[in-house]
C-alpha cells in the first residue's frame, strides 16, 4: 500500500514538473548592465548570461557556452575565457564584464551548448545577441554576426521608448525564414509582477513571408525575442536520436520617457 502511494505521488510530481517546463518558454539571455555607454558615464558593462524563463524566473543549468564574444566593426572577438561561473537559485549561470575603448555598436553574442529538455523530448540551442552602443557613433547595430540562426534588427535596438515598435528579420543559414514563429517575453527581473493567466506570460507572433516581424513593447525593461525553427539537426540522448530546436534570440531594452 505504501509503495503504491509513493509511486502515485512520484508520478504526480513528475507530471507537475513536466507541466511547469512545458508552460513557460525557454530563453537564453545576455543582459548588460546598460545598453548605452557615454563618455560621461561608466565605460564598462557587466554581462549576465543565463538560461531561464524570463517572466516566471525559473532557471535552468547552463554549461559553459561553445562560443561567447563581441562582434565589432565586422569582426568577431572571442570573450569565452573571460566568463566566470555564477549561481542563481542554485543553477549554473555565467558573468563577465567588458570595457569599451572605441566608439561604435558592439554586438554581444553567445552560442550555447545544447540543452536537453525532457518535457519536450528534444534539445534546445538558442543563439543569442544584444547590442550596446558606445560613445554615440551609432553604427553597426544591423550587421550580421554569422550565427547559425539570428535576428537582424530593422529598428535601431537602443534608444527605444516604451510602446515603440521593434522590427526584425529572422534568418537561418543566412536566409530569411518565412512565417517564423517568434516568442516574446518581458524580463520580470525583480519578480514584482504576475500574469493574469498563462497566455500573458509569453506572447507569440508570426513573421511574414519575408521573415520580417514587428512587436510594440508596452512596458519599460528588457524584452526578449526568440524565433524558433527546426534546423534539421539531430543529436543523440542516451544513444537515441533526438530533434534539436534552434532559436534566434535578441534582447532589447525600452525606456519610459523622462520628465524634466
Helix (H, G, I), strand (E, B) or coil at 5: helix
Residue 24: per-residue pLDDT: 66
Q: Which three cell numbers stand for residue 206?
A: 508570426
Phi first, then psi: give them for residue 115, nearest 5 degrees. -105, 125
Identify how many contiguous H helices and E strands the chain contains and give both numbers.
Answer: 1, 20
| Residues facing 97 on adjacent strands | 46
Residue 16: per-residue pLDDT: 41
How far apart, in whole angstroms, are the C-alpha atoms of residue 87 and residue 62?
A: 10
| Residues facing 185 on adjacent strands | 224
DSSP at 103: S
Helix (H, G, I), strand (E, B) or coil at 23: helix
End-to-end CA distance of the chain: 71
Residue 189: per-residue pLDDT: 96
pTM, two decimal places: 0.90
Q: Could you state, in order of their start, the residue ranges of all structural domains in the chain?
A: 2-255
Give the DSSP per-residue string, 112-163. Answer: PPPEEETTTTEEEEEEEEEEEEETT----TT-----SEEEEESS-SSSEETT
Residues of the chain with pLDDT under 50: 1-22
Residue 25: per-residue pLDDT: 87
Amino acid at each position: 500500500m505504501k509503495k503504491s502511494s509513493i509511486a502515485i505521488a512520484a508520478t504526480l510530481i513528475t507530471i507537475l514538473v513536466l507541466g511547469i517546463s512545458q508552460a513557460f518558454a525557454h530563453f537564453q539571455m545576455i543582459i548588460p548592465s546598460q545598453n548605452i555607454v557615454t563618455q560621461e558615464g561608466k565605460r564598462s558593462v557587466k554581462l549576465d548570461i543565463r538560461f531561464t524563463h524570463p517572466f516566471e524566473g525559473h532557471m535552468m543549468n547552463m554549461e559553459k557556452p561553445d562560443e561567447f564574444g563581441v562582434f565589432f566593426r565586422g569582426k568577431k572577438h572571442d570573450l569565452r575565457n573571460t566568463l566566470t561561473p555564477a549561481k542563481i537559485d542554485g543553477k549554473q549561470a555565467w558573468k563577465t564584464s567588458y570595457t569599451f575603448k572605441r566608439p561604435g555598436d558592439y554586438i554581444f553574442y553567445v552560442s550555447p551548448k545544447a540543452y536537453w529538455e525532457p518535457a519536450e523530448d528534444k534539445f534546445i540551442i538558442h543563439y543569442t545577441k544584444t547590442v550596446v552602443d558606445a560613445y554615440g557613433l551609432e553604427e553597426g547595430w544591423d550587421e550580421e554576426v554569422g550565427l547559425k540562426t539570428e535576428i537582424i534588427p530593422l529598428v535601431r535596438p537602443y534608444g527605444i521608448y516604451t510602446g515603440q515598435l521593434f522590427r526584425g528579420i529572422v534568418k537561418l543559414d543566412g536566409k530569411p525564414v518565412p512565417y517564423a514563429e517568434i516568442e516574446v517575453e518581458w524580463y520580470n527581473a525583480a519578480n514584482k509582477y504576475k500574469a493574469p493567466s498563462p497566455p500573458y506570460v509569453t506572447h507569440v507572433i508570426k513573421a511574414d513571408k519575408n521573415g520580417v516581424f514587428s512587436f510594440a513593447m508596452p512596458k519599460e525593461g528588457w524584452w526578449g525575442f526568440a524565433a524558433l525553427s527546426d534546423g534539421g539537426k539531430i543529436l543523440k540522448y542516451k544513444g537515441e536520436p533526438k530533434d534539436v530546436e534552434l532559436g534566434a534570440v535578441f534582447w532589447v531594452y525600452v525606456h519610459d520617457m523622462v520628465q524634466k
